[in-house]
A and B are shown apart, each in its own frame.
Chain A
């Protein structure tokens, strides 16, 4: 993400230096955008292939399919049961002969008739396959998990963004005061604590001290949902607050010293107007890239929180799949996640160009 931003900025600067010379050849904006879009889409392919290759290697070489079979069938499973399991999941042909991992070197066979290329062929057509453990189509599992994940991540994201911007503005407003200094200490402290600690502490407080909310569980029934998501959302917001506040504070601090702020104040604008209109608007240009990239990824949920709170989202799905060595789900989930991540990057670049007129796409 950082690299992409930097690249675009540099291009913008180069353009402005040699602007006169290139302006004559400039395409129409929509065509430029389309070209850019297509180019970025093509860049995605090798990244996706790389990610899938790493996942494949990890789960076929480091942990063998046999291990997955044993994990799924239980340690007492017979050799016959294991062979049958592998065959039913496409690891061996009808004679029980295993397929090669990458290249089929056997005479008379298509060299690409291997496990890796078979699964890549499937993914190229957006076929996510089925779970090794349960035989369910992964698409169904993802559909089922997306909404519960969003129930947590979306409120946490929106409220968290609002809160961290508000806190950052407040800290900039009271900069160099006692609150600002203690704010910094608190931010760094919250950054340094792993999320699991928040979760355990939060659940402990909920179960032993407050008893306002369930310490665990999830439902999708109107206001009851609020009862269940209150604690995980609060934990998510709190655990992410430190990083975001420090970052946004740095952005706003740069803005507050800018000339236009002094001009606005000289014109008699109120504190609130200067902070919330003039500064926020300019500061948002830097923030938008960070925010937009995260948006599509929200659907993937969170690993730790979902697992600890029993939220049946995609994070939970992934944790279970890893624990049970369900390679069918892991591979599909990684593929889906990579697609979303790349889509987020693309969205960022486009938004960045759209909000900042100084940036051109080429």
Chain B
């Protein structure tokens, strides 16, 4: 090899780099550079862990799908961004809140709902001339028919059919016929006129309003469902959503990204007029009452692994990020504030309590723990959540002492559960009262043995089980750990084949206590529902039935507090924690509100100029690695050339 070859090699490498343009932006180019009015086209860059399985609002029930569906579809009601304690609903597609009509004598109820006028579906080839038509009451008839269609597989049908007229019978009819007949009238909805309809309920159920804020009841156009059948080169409807939401699906490149673009004719809601912190006045006052969405395009990059997602955030290519376990210590200090490195970058850290509660469950049908209240109270008293939290949760979760999480009506801040004091002495006393002094079963003279069912998945789940075991064994009893696969664990819960299990929890579908208390309502014992503890208390049941159909007010609050007290006293579960998440926002993404129920991107505000500047600053491409590599190669080649001249093969 001679010198010319070497120079050619270097030249080709340089050419390759030139082609590459030394650009490390991983995202596809935005759809447009400018808006029609000449302003810059602003893009929000986010990440999702995988492709959503479906963007069908009547089917999807996972967080990932939800995060995208709510951008494309909208519901009759929505959560007010600034009212979170307690959460509050406001009209979205509906023109005013639904009017509740009690049908005297029959016990049934009706909600009359008026739709806003001038709400249009996204432009899409499924409509004549590709122009989205106006939303009407008939679209809600179709939507509720879809909920009952077995082919749609709506996961909340079994709940909704308990309250909404005609859903159950329509489902059964379709199962028998093998096909849903969309021409049959639907009992659930009575159309009054093009923009007014009535939703017919089998009984009083004020929580229906929360369901009207969920994507399950978001209107879908019949044209789209019938057009996107997966045949003739068309997508399936679940991959090609068409709604009335602030964004339309512009492109979905599977396993790569989902790109949403603004719905040009979106009018359903406008930017709030007030409610934000006064420090945000300068930023938000100009937007007050303005049209939505603020950002023109939202790109969701599909990033399965945590490491690349974190690297892209560090480079500035993602606007927001969670704080993963691997990087927790480099981002969050012991005092739960942002580390110096990230503060210097202008990144902001937010701490959010999720509307959920975790607990360990007793099986109250079990002869040992079910019959012995003091035993349950002793076990609940001894469990040290603060230590569990420090070891396994980076110390961020909130210790739970009641069933209802913060933000849900009836949550009592500062509530102290006498059986969650974590006092070993008190627990020992309770255990002695339970008939097991020092943990010894007087019948056998041996320590009392209980079985703890856990899901075995990882080294951490095993460590957690051993931690739980240690906690209870402080009382002198013996805990046998039974490891289960996830499905076996579920099956044991369903069939009541456990004594004590850990790691269960409930995240709010909607922030009403009914959505938590129903877990302990005796009529929800499996297979009917999710009352896995088999808790059955006549007073609790009576209060539940009363509370579930009441409007909010002091009387309802009193009942809720009484129900909380019953659960605290009876200890069907050991409350562990309310989960807390940390979120990081780049300096160009101000946080506008703290509302865990609201994941819409329509209010998102971004400063694109600041982003461009920071990205340039954080992504400089140095030349020295190229020179080092070139030098190394040259040395090896030089050595070989010299050797070839001097020696034989």
Spell out A's residues near B (CB within 8 Å): 63-64, 66-67, 70, 72-81, 84-85, 88, 94, 133-136, 141, 144-145, 170, 173-174, 177, 179, 200, 203-204, 206-219, 223, 226-228, 230, 256, 261, 265, 271, 274-275, 307-312, 316-317, 319-320, 323-324
Contact = CB atoms under 8 A, between A and B. Distances in A.
Interface of B: 16-17, 19-28, 50-51, 53-54, 61-62, 150-151, 153-159, 178, 230, 236, 238-239, 253-256, 301-305, 307-309, 311-312, 314-315, 485-487, 490-491, 509, 527, 530, 619-622, 625, 636, 639-640, 643-644, 648-649
A212 B626 CA distance: 10
Contact of A261 (B24, B636, B639, B649): B649
A207 B530 CA distance: 47
A312 B307 contact: no
Contacts of A319: 304
B178 A94 contact: yes
Determine chain B's interface SS by DSSP, over half rule.
loop
Contact of B24 (A145, A215, A218, A271): A215
A267 to B, nearest CB: 13
A179 B308 contact: no
A170 B640 contact: yes
Contacts, number: 181
Given A74-B62, A78-B158, A217-B26, A227 B20 contact: yes
B621 A210 contact: yes
Contacts of A204: 311
20 contacts: A66-B491, A74-B62, A75-B490, A88-B151, A88-B153, A94-B178, A145-B255, A170-B640, A174-B639, A179-B640, A203-B307, A214-B25, A216-B308, A216-B311, A223-B20, A307-B304, A308-B307, A308-B308, A310-B303, A320-B50
B485 A316 contact: no
Contact of B53 (A72, A207, A216): A72
Contacts of B527: 79
A203 B308 contact: yes
A174 B643 contact: yes
Contacts of A206: 24
B179 to A, nearest CB: 12
Given A134-B238, A323-B50, A271 B487 contact: no
Contact of B648 (A203, A214, A265, A275): A265
Given A70-B487, A308-B305, 20 more contacts: A66-B487, A74-B62, A81-B154, A81-B155, A136-B230, A200-B307, A207-B315, A209-B625, A211-B621, A215-B24, A215-B308, A216-B303, A216-B312, A217-B27, A219-B256, A226-B19, A228-B26, A274-B649, A308-B304, A310-B255
A76 B155 contact: yes
Contacts of A219: 28, 256
Given A66-B487, A204-B311, A316 B255 contact: yes
A190 B236 CA distance: 45
A206 B487 CA distance: 41
B255 A324 contact: no
Contact of A134 (B54, B302, B311): B54
B61 A73 contact: yes
B538 to A, nearest CB: 26
Contacts of A307: 304-305
Given A271-B644, A324-B53, A80 B157 contact: yes
A96 to B, nearest CB: 9
B20 A216 contact: no
Contacts of A323: 50, 304
Contacts of B301: 216-217, 310
A135 B17 CA distance: 42
Nearest to A311: B255
Given A206-B24, A216-B26, A211 B619 contact: yes
A260 to B, nearest CB: 13
